[in-house]
Amino acid sequence: MKRLFIIFLFVLLLGATIGVWSYSYFESLEEATIETSRITESSSIPSESGMFERSGFAMEYAIMPLDTDYQRNLKSYYDNRAFYGAPPTIPHHVEQSGIGSNACLKCHENGGFVDKFQAYTPVTPHPDKSNCVQCHVQVKSKSFFVPSGWAKNNAPSIGNQALEGSPPIVPHPLQLRENCLSCHAGPSAVKEIRTTHPDRINCRQCHVINQKKTVDIGTFKREIK
Ligand code: HEC
Ligand code: HEC
Ligand code: HEC
Ligand code: HEC
């Protein structure tokens, strides 16, 4: 009986030793890990999250050679819009069946050169708004049906810097313009506003928005004649 008890005690001690040793051994192998499921909530400021949407392409944009033969400029950019902030018209032929995001996003999601249009494709800042032709239409005529006094509103000026060399302010509103790199980087970016530093990612860290106060113009009522 006594002998059995000693054997039992020995086995117990052996088991405990193996247990403790292997626990501390495997613990010593542990590496630092990031549990992403824990940090998805509030991982970015919601109003600024759009800014990082194309940041995966930032390094590519930074090292891309610039093709100056096919650069867009601000004049043609504004000419393609009925007024400042209006959706640009589609300056190229689209297939009748080619309605919707699938047809448009194959070129406009990531951009690139298109031989038949001899131009770089402007990247859309809003690939999620899938019914493109709801807002973007083709130009069917160059003049109005009836004469009108229609005049475009002016775009804000660029180059507003506090000091030479300091970051210019963002002169435009950010609604529909959260995704900075889609317009400010890459070969389709307009010459005057193409950034030299797409790789800095967090644009609003240095570029602040124009805090101009807006005035309340009351409720708009259409005059019926
Ligand atoms: C084969 C590629 C291709 C497809 C498909 C395509 N586009 Fe384009 N798109 C271009 C290119 C290239 C330009 C630039 C044309 C230029 O500058 O002359 C352009 C220009 C535009 C512009 C003007 C953007 C600006 O900033 O002025 C709009 C709007 C547009 N496309 C909308 C659409 C829509 C909507 C569809 C789907 C019905 C579509 N595109 C399908 C290649 C494409
Ligand atoms: C709800 C309306 C709406 C829908 C839907 C829409 N857009 Fe736009 N889009 C706009 C407006 C408004 C602008 C001008 C934004 C500005 O100048 O601030 C614009 C701008 C653009 C531009 C030019 C960006 C630049 O350089 O200024 C492209 C390219 C474009 N859209 C492509 C597309 C494509 C492709 C789709 C479909 C996947 C699409 N859009 C769906 C309203 C829309
Ligand atoms: C739809 C295209 C578009 C998007 C998206 C966009 N911008 Fe712009 N940005 C422009 C245009 C066009 C101008 C020239 C002034 C104007 O027409 O509003 C401009 C002007 C600027 C300027 C002034 C440049 C100078 O030389 O003075 C800054 C800075 C700027 N944007 C920063 C940003 C930042 C930061 C974001 C993202 C939060 C952003 N932009 C998103 C089109 C865009
Ligand atoms: C670390 C601060 C900083 C960050 C972050 C930053 N910028 Fe700038 N940006 C500057 C400064 C400084 C200038 C003025 C450069 C000059 O005048 O030589 C500038 C100039 C610009 C201009 C005018 C054209 C040019 O390149 O000179 C644009 C457009 C612009 N930035 C867009 C952006 C965008 C888009 C982002 C985000 C990808 C961004 N910036 C991030 C500091 C910054």
CB 174 less than 6 A from any atom of ligand 1: no
pLDDT at 206: 95
Instruction: Write the DSSP symbol of residue 209.
Output: B
Please determine, for residue 224, whether its predicted confidence score (pLDDT) is greater than 90.
Answer: no
Percent of the chain residues topping a pLDDT of 70: 92
The answer, yes or no, to whether residue 191 has pLDDT greater than 90, is yes
For residue range 153-172, list pLDDT tens digits in order: 889 999 998 899 999 999 99
Q: Does position 193 have pLDDT exceeding 90, yes or no? A: yes
| Residue 214 near residue 175 (C-beta atoms within 8 A) | no
Q: What is the mean pLDDT of residues 180-208?
A: 95
Q: What is the pLDDT of residue 146?
A: 85
pLDDT value at residue 101: 58
Give me the pLDDT at residue 47, please. 75
pLDDT tens-digit profile of 94-148?
876 555 557 899 999 999 999 999 999 999 999 999 889 899 998 887 777 888 8
pLDDT tens column, 72-92: 999 999 999 989 999 999 999
Q: Which residue has the higher pLDDT, 185 or 96?
A: 185
Residues with beta carbon inside 6 Å of ligand 4? 165-168, 180-181, 184, 193, 195-198, 200-203, 205-207
Q: Which of 158, 154, 161, 165 is nearest to 194 (CA)?
A: 158
106 lines ligand 1 (CB under 6 A): yes
pLDDT at 99 (0 to 100): 57
Q: Ligand 1: which of 76, 121, 133, 134 to mutate, most ligand atoms within 8 Å of CB?
A: 121
Q: Whose CA is nearest to atom 42 of ligand 2?
A: 87
Please tell me the predicted confidence (pLDDT) of residue 41: 57
3-46 pLDDT per residue, tens? 999 999 999 999 999 999 999 998 888 888 777 666 555 556 77
Convert 28-94 into a string of H (helix), E (strand) and C (coil).
HCCCCCCCHHHHCCCCCCHHHHHHHCCHHHHHHHHHCCCCHHHCCCHHHHHHCCCCCCCCCCECCCC
- Whether 56 and 182 have beta carbons less than 8 Å apart is answered as no
pLDDT at 44: 62
Q: CA–CA separation, 217 vs 225, rounded Å?
A: 22
Give pLDDT, residue 92: 92
